[in-house]
Chain A
Amino acid sequence: MTSDDPSPHSPLRRTVPRRKVVGLLFGGAVVAVGAPALLRGGAGPAETDSVASGRTVLSRGRGTWTSTGSIAVLGLTRCDGEGHPGHADRAVHTDGTKSHTSQTRRVHPRHRVWPDVVTIELEVHNGLASAVLFSPGQLRLQVGPDGPTVTPLAAGSGPRPTTGGSTTRTWVSFLAPKSKAELRLQYSEPATRDVMVLALPAAGHHGRAS
């Protein structure tokens, strides 16, 4: 269930700087307008913004700014993989509260090598006027600073368009080893081919062993 993500080390990324690629597509003038919006990060209320990826971002939500709006990590739960149906998750929110509860979405056969299941709550905002395709596979969990990235185990929904101006709450889960390795969440933007790293809160452990 794990694999190396070659994209950060691909020949393309080594030989073709992103700025050059974008320049080939849209020209330097567009880059000059769009780059600040692409590179700026941080949380904030919705606001009107400038052009990114050739399209106008009309609003932002919480969390990290993306070329189509924003994405925020709301919480993270780490289960030891011995859960059972109906088992309640406790999500640890980024603001430090521990009040949120939700049902475990599904129970998978225990993976004996990477037994932990990390579930991440997300909020995705589409700040464009038009629909944008969002897929949970745009998110990968990186295990360790130089470690592999992991394909999602499950998600709140499959790939689907998000309507312009909408904010979607969803979740995505990953298998993880029973280790103290640092976890990072990568988010890929297909239109710009950027890979962003999203900060994760400390995990809340539970399950039969907790």
Chain B
Amino acid sequence: MIRDRVAGWEPTRRDVLRIGAASTAAAAVGATVVATADVAVPAPAVPGVLDLYVNEGFVPMVDGSLVYMRGFGDRPSSVDDAAPSLTFATRVFLADDTLVEARFYPPGSAEPPKGRPAPHSLDPSGAGVHLVHRAHWGSFFPRRTIVAESGSRLRLRVHNGLRETHALAIQAAPGAAPVAHTGPVQQGSSGTIDIVAPAPGTYLICDPSREPVERVLGLYGALVVVPREDRWRLSAGGPEFERQWLWICHDVDPEWAALAQAGMTIDPGRTPLLPRYFTLNDRSGFQSLGISEDEAVNSAAHEDTLLSGSARRTDVRDFSRGTGATVVTGQLIRMVNAGVAAHQMHFHGNHVWTVRRNGVDFPRSAQAAFVDGVGHPVLQLWEDVVELEPRDTKEVMLPMKPPPDALEAVLAAQDCDWPFPMHCHAEPSQTAAGGLYPGGIVADWQLAVPMKPTGPGGSP
């Protein structure tokens, strides 16, 4: 909650013009008019502190259109910057209170090639199924992610380079009091968060100012808190996984963007939100599917978005079935909806097992199950469509079972990777630019070609 001036920022000619226009309004509310808007001087680094900058700029959409957006960047940048910093590289707060930049966690674990964990060995219990490595493969996370180990000290410093007041909040659930909040940060000032990492789980990071406006304009991210002694589980003693994934959904409305670019107040009542672009981990359509002409984009999509692995006989009654170095479990997906549309993540090939919503584990027994106020069953269960309300977080397990409806002869004939689609079932989100299909929230997951038995024990 401590706010201070950002050292080293000096005004430009453009700032002077803008500040001149803003000074009347600022004086009316007694605010201090400070001198900065577009100046690219980062704050002096402090060990263990993550600096985030509230910036603005233009972002290419999936159809190439340039849309004005805002974002939490990792360096100060101006609206004229040809490559503005509107997202931040993944950072990890370790339990020893050190902060490292790494899109891969846990440090020192094995990196799955192209995101796909290789299996440990064939499962002798059946043909074409595998045992997977226990606590072995690490996970790639998309930009905008903060990973924190439980018990770590989470220290953020948020620098506002824009004219309006901004903030950063960490939220566990819509409507609930934030876990942490910088408080309002005036132009040219900084706000801080200094907390012990909250309970293991998934959190939405956003600017709650003028809700939902700033979130829609791009000021969002996610916090993943991992149990420090149980890094391959959702929570201490919770569901164990082979590797984990984070999907951050977002919606983009160029009309709102144009209003914000013009410095106008966005009133959702007068200008209803009409998203025109939909993103998953900042990608849409062919980019999200890793089939673009940009190999760097494709590689990142495979590493941090597109689930992949070998078939196994996951039993949702026990996600830790196995002994020693092997386990039979699935891959965990953490979903965050930073947008305003209700998304419906629909999986082909496998159903997923819903585990948790907004930090609260669903009950596993019918006796403890109930129906919430809007008609949703609250129970761990199989779903082929996972509803994701705005600002919600949900964790589900993809079991990576052989497709249950496939005939044995078909399964036995698998001689290549099998991709299965994942798409949002809210159909407008499958489009871009008002009609380009499939240009929105799409992904896929792949069932790898089975290992070949080479010896009596079944191991290659």
Write the residues of chain A forming the contact surface with B, with a CB cutoff of 8 angstroms: 1-4, 6-7, 10-12, 16, 21, 24-27, 30, 54-55, 130-133, 135-138, 151-152, 155, 158-159, 161-162, 188, 190-191, 193
Contacts and interface: CB of A to CB of B under 8 A. Distances in A.
Given A3-B436, A151-B433, A12 B259 contact: yes
Contacts of B407: none
Contacts of A55: 80
A133 B69 CA distance: 14
Of the candidates B258, B259, B293, the one having the most CB atoms from chain A within 10 angstroms of its own CB is: B258
Ranked 6 nearest A-B pairs via Cβ: A137-B64, A161-B82, A159-B60, A131-B82, A3-B435, A190-B66
B17 A135 contact: no
B262 A25 contact: yes
Q: For the side of the interface on B, what is the size category?
A: 20 to 34
Contact of B436 (A6, A135, A151, A155): A151
B237 interface: no
Nearest to B276: A6
Interface string B254-295: 110011011110000001000000000000000000000110
B17 A133 contact: no
Interface string B432-449: 011110000000000000
Contact of B64 (A132, A158, A193): A158
A193 B17 contact: no
A132 B82 contact: yes
Given A11-B255, A151-B433, A161-B82, 11 more contacts: A12-B262, A24-B21, A25-B18, A54-B14, A137-B61, A137-B65, A137-B66, A138-B64, A151-B64, A158-B294, A193-B258
B262 A11 contact: no
B20 interface: yes
A188 B257 CA distance: 15
A191 B294 CA distance: 26
A1 B436 contact: yes
Contacts of B433: 3, 151
A4 B435 CA distance: 8
Nearest to A172: B64
Given A158-B60, A191-B80, A12 B434 contact: no
Given A137-B63, A152-B64, A158-B60, A12 B17 contact: no
A198 to B, nearest CB: 16
Nearest to A22: B262
A161 B77 CA distance: 15
A136 B63 CA distance: 9
A24 B264 CA distance: 8
B72 interface: no
Most buried by B among A7, A16, A130, A190: A190
Interface string B68-79: 100000000001
B426 interface: no
A19 to B, nearest CB: 11
B64 A135 contact: yes
